[in-house]
Structure 1
Amino acid sequence: MPATARLWDISPTIAPDSPVFPGDEPYRLAWTARLGPGCPVNLSALTMSPHVGAHADAPLHYANDAPAIDEVALTAYLGPCRVIHALGVAPLITIEHLRHAEAGLPPRVLVRCRERADTVWNPDFTAYAPEAIAWLAERGVKLIGIDTPSVDPADSKTLDSHQLLRKHDLRVLENLVLDDVPAGDYELIALPLKLQGACASPVRAILRELTR
């Protein structure tokens, strides 16, 4: 891959005012040491939910007997990816919003629903219809992503789409920023941290253009 291949950073900046699900732990940064006389470094400490910003859910997030994020293989988070536009679609992405991009579908699919990423909490976000997840899994997709906080609606108590991820052993990325990403094929790089026992991990997700 040439060093000049274009990159798209599809992760939002994580900040104290980053939108989070109500009741979730926001991002906080504290300084435990500051550079000065007698101290050679600045040293910070972080407190946050692993679901703040762009993140990868672990199966443990939606099933007690499922792997934590440190136990999940990295293969799904790296490789050929397709960005599909479904701008303005609400409340659910259905099969009909994906079918036009079916030919030659790679193992990773990200769906862009919004013109611009939300900068405040908005519970009326677009999610995936469960049948759309099953349809993607039937076509060999191993990872799905979305530019909203969740693949299930904010008020869902059964998390039907998450449960289908578990059934089909799919990985998921949420809270991506796809504002400036054209529809098409890319290389995805979005590795989660190896956080022992955690239900999710932040990712620094990027897309790299494919060159011939």
Structure 2
Amino acid sequence: MIIDISRKLNAHTPTWPGDRPFSYDLTWSKEDTGSVNVGQIASSCHTATHVDAPFHFNSHGTTIDQLPLELFIGRAKVVDVSTKWLIKPEDLAFIDFSQTKRLLLKTNAWSDPSTFPKEIPQLDPSLGEYLNRHGVELLGVDLPSVDPLDSKTLDMHHALEENHIHILEGLDLSAVEPGDYRLTALPLFIEGADGSPVRAILETIDQS
């Protein structure tokens, strides 16, 4: 079974305050061309479900086209942390990380998909070293950011980069039960970009 964990892109998709909203427009219609409809899109790289490249918060960091695709395909573990407002290493102590390179945190804090949240749970930057020690290479969240919305220092972003962990944000995990899945969340091949939207899906794994 395939579970779509992407947020829909349309004119009503909430964006970071002040950022460019998503738009899709029909540039040419079939009536105009005689053969095809041709559309165009405009968007921030950080709208809805997206990958942050290190260049997003580090001017010397790698760009989206330089990230290895194997980061975004493979076994992933969904963990429910919806009872926590500050998520720390001890909140993940029960996890068996032996087959987990990709960790997706379900907070359920972005409950209204039509509005941008006013506040979100906080991830303790000590998670960077903790997750690296357990072999995690990708952290996904159902939030607009891994840092507080008003953060200027982006401590969690930097803690993850320092520990070689990449970032997937804006997931919709509302219909996903905790457990192990196969994740596919490929960023677009945009040269020099600081991020990219993705179509993220989970596939159930046969446990037999």
* TM-score scaled by length of structure 1: 0.92
The correspondence for 1:49, drawn from 44, 49, 59, is 44
Which residue is 1:110 aligned to? 104
Residue 196 of structure 1 and its aligned partner are, at CA, apart by 1.1
1:176 aligns with 2:176: no
- Contact 1:114–1:147 (CA<8 Å) still a contact in 2? yes
Which residue is 1:144 aligned to? 139
**Aligned positions of 1:22-37 closer than 5 A:** 22-36=17-31
C-alpha change, 1:116 and 1:200, in structure 2 (3 Å) is closer
- Contact 1:53–1:176 (CA<8 Å) still a contact in 2? yes
Structure 2: stretches of 5+ with no match in the other structure: none
State the alpha-carbon separation in 1 of the partners of residues 25 and 204 from structure 2. Answer: 37
- Contact 2:97–2:134 (CA<8 Å) still a contact in 1? no
Residue 186 of structure 1 and its aligned partner are, at CA, apart by 0.7
Which residue is 1:3 aligned to? none
- The aligned amino acid for 2:70 is T
State the alpha-carbon separation in 1 of the partners of residues 32 and 182 from structure 2. Answer: 46
The correspondence for 1:101, drawn from 78, 91, 95, is 95
C-alpha change, 1:103 and 1:141, in structure 2 (3 Å) is closer
- Residue 74 of structure 2 aligns to a residue whose secondary structure is strand
Q: Deviations over 1:155-187 (max 9, x none)?
A: 111101100121112111100000011111111
State the alpha-carbon separation in 1 of the partners of residues 183 and 33 from structure 2. Answer: 44
- Residue 11 of structure 1 aligns to a residue whose secondary structure is coil
The correspondence for 1:17, drawn from 12, 23, 33, is 12
**Aligned positions of 1:147-162 closer than 5 A:** 147-162=142-157
- The aligned amino acid for 2:76 is C
- Give RMSD over aligned pairs: 1.5
Aligned length: 206
Q: Name the % identity.
A: 35
Residue 25 of structure 1 and its aligned partner are, at CA, apart by 0.9
Which residue is 2:120 aligned to? 125
C-alpha change, 1:172 and 1:38, in structure 2 (3 Å) is closer
1:79 aligns with 2:74: yes
Runs of 4+ in 1 over 4 A off after TM superposition: none
Residue 118 of structure 1 and its aligned partner are, at CA, apart by 3.0
State the alpha-carbon separation in 1 of the partners of residues 148 and 33 from structure 2. Answer: 52
State the alpha-carbon separation in 1 of the partners of residues 110 and 118 from structure 2. Answer: 15
